[in-house]
Chain A
């Protein structure tokens, strides 16, 4: 579907130099950012901490910041800058792999002044190779496969044309098809009913570049209606644009003849950050509008359907409230002296940060909401410690890669103890010996990871059947060591079911760490229920303050 617009004709005449690449990177970033929530919603598990979209957007933003003021014309040098920015800003596994793709892409263009067809194809091949090499156990049906299929499509296209724009036009549909195929390659995607989020993110970046060439807009998502449970309105709070004063959410049943595209265009005239979700015939519309337009969405929707609920929120006062949440509580971190080992811990909540500090952590990196720390943020945490021996506890499987990346980049001696949960991180912290030998202590900590079972309780963001467990949207679900094991109608029941599945009676101690979604009183009630059910076990309740997960449990 090649559309020869005036714009693309113009671009065919330009040299495809560093400045052209800069515009394409910007476009990729913008289009990805616009569709960020869609990517976040592609979480395999129906848990509310989907962050691939956010992670990849932030990684691209870091790359953009590296080049945005540059007038560099040499495309190889520009690509190298992009790769550097992506490397330092990489967050989450998807962000790290994306930065590896850029690294390979830059290597392929190293000595080139401009991009031509063969150069483009070579760069895509290098990108693929570098990304595959950077992953210890490459898995098909992920962003890696999409990169591979894209490179293959480019190779094919080169047989018919040497024009990089023409090649770009051909690889986008191939990338799209590759993304759609990922559930065939990775069974858990099929079970969850989603395509691979990292692959989708990569697709958006490339599609953004093409849309720029074709003169298509990058700031409004295509008129898509998401499943109701995928609407991520919390994250929308983090992106309030200037001039928008009110958030308006309207639930309605549309009349016959309702057209999504027309609906969207009308809304676009009123405000921004538009999301439309649908569930069981009911639609939910979300929009940010300026003060003077605050009633327009409701008035309009009344003309196309029957409204059942309206919610309006004053964004400015919300934002002030949000920034008022003090991060100024000082933690008593351990001081580290030269020759000692400093431990850097990624913690999702203030209470947990306090606990880790009390166990001797030298630095805490906050990994809250959907934001994973970037390579740079991890480096900042330990570069100023008075020692060159550092251990990182990522406490999340999505941060392990970023930690390893920090290891590549720092001159300090860094060991990553690959903790995949806070419960594992605590177990590791307990065997820490600041005066020991770095490799030996890291080995002891790594061995300690296996001595606890991790339980996580949250609310399902969508209906799903995974590994034989069926969950409805909004139910409380339990994960045991990262695997979905139970669904129940209440948090208490989910906790009890999880403990039964985990054979708690064969253990000795259950540490229940409650998150910010639970009040202390509720947490205490649930802990008491657990004590009644398991009178011979020791039950310890701690305030972790983590978002999304009502409980994190350590069973040992």
Chain B
């Protein structure tokens, strides 16, 4: 698997996602930035170059799978680039983000040696069984980033609330507004346990590893049978983090 990084612009400087600043450092500094960092998709040229390199090398075909098209222009750029590689590049909208996207890519990679069809259908199968939920610590960062999905305007409240969202079918759905961290985690645990047996699981967080670990411990205590053996704890990329703010918590699960 290969990654074409998005761009993070912080205080006037451009960083490719994954280099220049560790995620830990990013989330620690996020509340202090004078002006909100911005993000940008990779360029069409970035994709073309990568496809060229891979197809000239040992690859017969490239599956280019990306974050939900409804939320970002990444897949759009990939599609444009793919037009120059007729039939050799398949661009897929994961309709998800973070490990929601990641698990689909993982499934495809695992099925890749069985051929293109198998890889594509494993992506399809994974996406159908995918559930992604998250609770943000505050609406401030969503507001500041200017990218309020229509769903979240539901939370335009004078009271401070922690919005809970579900990511699915390419869109962000508001599923609740909680006033306290405890209530938010209780609600998320309820969604978690309602889904049943899991094949894959990642606990997602934005700069809050301790919180993620405690949450996982709690989930295991409540019902360890449904959990898969391998569980990832992921500090979500700053490219997403800048829009949702630190101390967010969520999970991506592929139901069995």
Residues of chain A touching chain B, judged by Cβ–Cβ distance below 8 Å, are 354-355, 358-360, 426-427, 430-431, 451, 507-509, 511, 538, 540, 542, 556
Contacts and interface: CB of A to CB of B under 8 A. Distances in A.
Given A358-B156, A360-B154, A508 B182 contact: yes
Contact of B181 (A358, A451, A508, A540): A508
A422 B239 CA distance: 40
A427 B181 CA distance: 14
A354 B158 contact: yes
Nearest to A452: B179
B159 A542 contact: yes
A377 to B, nearest CB: 25
Interface in B199-256: none
B183 interface: yes
A430 B177 contact: yes
Interface in B126-180: 154, 156-161, 176-180
A508 B180 contact: yes
A427 B160 CA distance: 12
A540 B161 contact: no
B153 to A, nearest CB: 11
Q: A354, A359, A542 — which one has the most chain B CB atoms within 10 A of its CB?
A: A359
A355 to B, nearest CB: 5
A540 B160 contact: yes
A540 B182 CA distance: 17
Contacts of A507: 180
Interface residues of B, number: 15
Given A430-B177, A431-B176, A355 B182 contact: no
A509 B180 contact: yes
Nearest to B161: A430
B186 to A, nearest CB: 10
Contacts of B157: 355, 358-359
A522 B212 CA distance: 40
Contacts of A426: 159
Point out which of B160, B178, B179, B183 has the most chain A C-beta atoms below 10 A from its C-beta.
B179
A373 B157 CA distance: 26
A430 B178 CA distance: 7
10 contacts: A359-B159, A430-B179, A431-B177, A508-B182, A511-B159, A511-B179, A540-B160, A542-B158, A556-B179, A556-B180
A102 B161 CA distance: 46
Chain A interface SS verdict (over half)? mixed
B11 to A, nearest CB: 29
A27 to B, nearest CB: 49
Given A431-B176, A507-B180, 11 more contacts: A426-B159, A431-B177, A451-B183, A508-B181, A509-B179, A509-B180, A538-B160, A538-B180, A540-B159, A540-B160, A556-B179
A427 B176 CA distance: 12
A257 B246 CA distance: 78
A354 B157 CA distance: 9
Nearest to B182: A508
Contacts of B158: 354-355, 358, 542
Interface string B27-38: 000000000000
A556 B159 contact: no
Question: Closest 3 CB pairs between A and B?
Answer: A508-B180, A358-B158, A358-B157
B187 to A, nearest CB: 9
Contacts of A556: 179-180, 183
Nearest to A334: B154
B132 to A, nearest CB: 20
A431 B180 CA distance: 13
B190 to A, nearest CB: 12
Nearest to B160: A540
Nearest to B176: A431
A556 B181 CA distance: 10
Nearest to B159: A355
Nearest to A451: B183
Interface in B78-110: none
Contacts of B156: 358
B151 to A, nearest CB: 12
Contacts of A358: 156-159
A248 to B, nearest CB: 43
A359 B158 CA distance: 8
Contacts of A451: 183
Nearest to A352: B158
A553 to B, nearest CB: 13
A226 to B, nearest CB: 41
B193 to A, nearest CB: 17
A266 B232 CA distance: 88
Nearest to A444: B176
Interface string B13-33: 000000000000000000000
Contacts of B176: 430-431
B61 to A, nearest CB: 42
B176 to A, nearest CB: 7
Contacts of A542: 158-159
Contacts of B183: 451, 556
Contacts of A511: 159, 179
A397 to B, nearest CB: 23
Nearest to A434: B154
A427 B180 CA distance: 11
Contacts of B181: 508
A538 B179 CA distance: 10
B156 to A, nearest CB: 6
Contacts of A427: 179
A447 B154 CA distance: 21
B166 to A, nearest CB: 13
